[in-house]
Chains A and B, each alone.
Chain A
Amino acid sequence: MFDPSLIKKDFPIFSRNVNGKPLVYLDSGATSQKPGIVLDAEREYYEKHNANVHRGAHTLGDEATAMLALARSVVAKFVGGRESEIIFVRNTTEAINLVAYAWGLDNLRTGDVILSTEMEHHANLVPWQQVAERTGAKIELAKVTSGGLLDLEDYARKLKLKPKLVTMAHVSNALGTVNPVKEMTKMAHGVGAVVLIDGAQAVPHMRVNVTDLGCDFYAFSGHKMLGPMGIGVLWGKKEILTKMSPFLTGGGMINEVYPDHSTWTDLPDKFEAGTPNVAGAVGLMAAIEYLETLGMEQVGRHDREMVAYAISKLEKVDKVKLLGPVNAELRSGSVGFEYMGVHAHDVATVLDSEGVAIRSGHHCTMVLHKSLGLAASVRASFNVYTTTDDIDALISALDKVKKVFGK
């Protein structure tokens, strides 16, 4: 049975207090907490197997290389891709930058259109602005409706501009909206675009199968899905990755090096210059095994229950104005809101004094906040260890905001 209060016991951090109160962690959208087995896996790697990879000729080197390969195969299976298509990076941001620079600079020309959305995290907007500046390509953003959904009519209209690249968040980090990425990918392929999906907020909460989605690139981070910080994944279609130039160059990604030129090794190593984060990959593998033990279907169901519960409680709080779709079935991972008359940072500080950790600010979505007419918002976000008690603690702590600010 899926019991988040028992799951919580697997996470050492929940044994601590914050400001004299038990930690209520509702900021998993920023980064999740880590179960003991992830921490143990990293520690065991360093204690028993640590050596540099791909250098063979000694036992530890072989073990470290085998562990990295095993982690890659576990990740590949988890998201439904091939091992050679799994590129280890630091995080989603780096994965998107890899596509922007290694694919974008070689394939975009003056006047080409990059189509994205108004709800993107800065990580999936700023790299494209950089590429647009260098290539002369233009950025178009599909609008967000007042109900917090992607405006699919506007998306269809902008696809008529025949974008070369279409990119969108699978799940919005600020609104919690789940975008219909499979359908959007099909539509984008219909006009010949390459499709990149930012899956940072999706992979922790739902079963993602890149082959089923049909996209060309899919990016996500380990640290939001119970894994360590500093390890992330870019999945890309082999046919496209093979044709691409490398992003970072140096050791580990070469075949032959001459004084004036070099040749590249095969996938995925071509995109993994330098010593990789083996411990991070091993930790990510442990996180995936933990999630698979819980069952991704149950993980997803629990997430939707938490979202629905939070919405049902928050909508009864005077002064709270919810952001994003009201239908919990259309969202995942978080509930964002405005507390009318009190700045989001002030709300966060008062909640923290009650041991409740939430995110405040513009959540790296300044374009979205501007289009919604917001300066800053508050976000409660969830993971497998979130309980209804945690959400009740948030609601009680909001009473204190009312007391302090008299609103």
Chain B
Amino acid sequence: MDLYKEEVMDHYEHPRNVGEIESPNLQGRDSNASCGDMVQFQLAIENGIIKNAKWQGIGCAITTAAASKLSEWLVNKNIEDVKSKSEKELTKLAIGFEVNPGRLKCLTLPVRVVKRIWES
């Protein structure tokens, strides 16, 4: 089926950047009330540039693949640039695959965590 295409399954089965940063500059976590899935992101920042991004959590294939892709995309990005993007823009740029409306919350959970990181 379309949703579980090769790229998504690859990130689900071999998620990138899973783990923790020893002393992160920023971190945040959030969960999806409908299923209890949880995602945590940690960022290491130098001179306004994201040098390292790690995440961990429990989630479905969509949430896991989305978090994995987002973590890869974030590295070497200017934090002002990331901050200026909306949730929708980040989802499109960093994750780049689409889901049906019933699964949208699974897809956007990692992006929501990163968007709220600046508030924490």
Contact = CB atoms under 8 A, between A and B. Distances in A.
B4 to A, nearest CB: 5
A345 B4 contact: no
B74 to A, nearest CB: 24
A404 B4 contact: yes
B37 A346 contact: no
A366 to B, nearest CB: 7
Nearest to B59: A343
B35 A360 contact: yes
Contacts of A360: 35
A344 interface: yes
Determine the main DSSP class of B at the interface with A.
loop
Contact of A343 (B1, B3, B61, B100): B61
Contact of A345 (B1, B9, B106): B106
Interface string B1-16: 1011000010000000
A362 B34 CA distance: 7
A289 B60 CA distance: 43
Interface in A316-361: 342-346, 349-350, 353, 360-361
A350 B36 contact: no
B62 A345 contact: yes
Interface residues of B, number: 17
A8 B24 CA distance: 58
B64 to A, nearest CB: 8
Interface residues of A, number: 18
Contacts, number: 49
Given A350-B1, A350-B4, A345 B60 contact: yes
A361 B35 contact: yes
Given A343-B60, A343-B61, A346-B62, A362 B36 contact: yes
Interface in A139-165: none
A350 B100 CA distance: 12
Contacts of B4: 346, 349-350, 404-405
Given A344-B35, A360-B35, A353 B1 contact: yes
Nearest to B61: A346
Nearest to A347: B60
Contacts of B83: none
A375 B103 contact: no
A345 B35 contact: yes
B58 interface: yes
Interface string B55-89: 00011111000000000000000000000000000
Nearest to B64: A343
Given A404-B1, A404-B4, A346 B36 contact: no
Interface string B79-120: 000000000000000000000101100100000000000000
B36 A366 contact: yes
A362 B1 contact: no
A227 B66 CA distance: 40
Interface of A: 342-346, 349-350, 353, 360-362, 366, 369, 375-376, 400, 404-405
Given A342-B61, A349-B3, 15 more contacts: A343-B37, A345-B62, A345-B106, A346-B62, A349-B1, A349-B4, A350-B1, A353-B3, A362-B34, A375-B37, A375-B58, A376-B36, A376-B37, A404-B1, A405-B4
Q: Which 7 A-B pairs have the closest CB atoms?
A: A343-B60, A376-B35, A353-B1, A345-B60, A346-B61, A346-B60, A375-B36
16 contacts: A343-B35, A344-B35, A345-B35, A345-B103, A345-B106, A346-B60, A346-B61, A349-B4, A350-B4, A353-B1, A362-B36, A375-B35, A375-B37, A404-B4, A405-B4, A405-B61
